[in-house]
Amino acid sequence: MGKLCKILLVSAMLLVGGCSSKESEKKEPVSDNTEKTTLKITIQDEVNKKELFNGNVSVEGKVETLADFLEKAKDLDVKMEDGQYGKTIMAMKGVETKDFNKGPWWLYESENNESCKAAGSCDAASSLKIKDGDDFTFTYTASY
């Protein structure tokens, strides 16, 4: 009887020790509850008369502003600079504003974003709140 108790005790210790060490090595599973934001994006180059992009773009993670979204949307190849009124778009899809004082510039508009509709124009990208399903048209233009 004493031998059986020792075997059971050692087995139980190995089982508990093995389970606890495996549990501590496990990483937490990725949540299926990841936030995802999809915007309808159109990018037009009026200077060279080209449409550079037209389609839906999705990013994962929390985004509140247009700048947050554009920073995560790697396929759009967006470059922004901090300006007097917030983030300014300097390049998209390889088309870049060389001299902000002379242009051409990147402008954007939305027909369904609540803030843009309410104000009659869109705020700076870093302060413009967005929602899943918003549509934005970005235009590279020499005039505004």
DSSP 27: P
In the chain, beta strands by DSSP E: 36-45, 50-60, 79-83, 86-92, 95-96, 105-109, 135-141
CATH code of 64's domain? 2.170.130.30
Averaged pLDDT for residues 96-116:
96
Domain assignment of residue 6, yes or no: no
pLDDT at 26 over 80: no
The mean pLDDT of the chain is 84
Strand-pair category, 135-141 with 36-45: parallel
Domain total in the chain: 1
Domain that holds residue 136: 36-141
Strand-pair category, 105-109 with 135-141: antiparallel
Domain assignment of residue 97, yes or no: yes
Selection from 29-33, 83-87, 91-95, 99-103 with the highest mean pLDDT: 91-95
pLDDT of residue 33: 58
Domain assignment of residue 127, yes or no: yes
Q: Count the residues in the chain.
A: 144
Domain assignment of residue 122, yes or no: yes
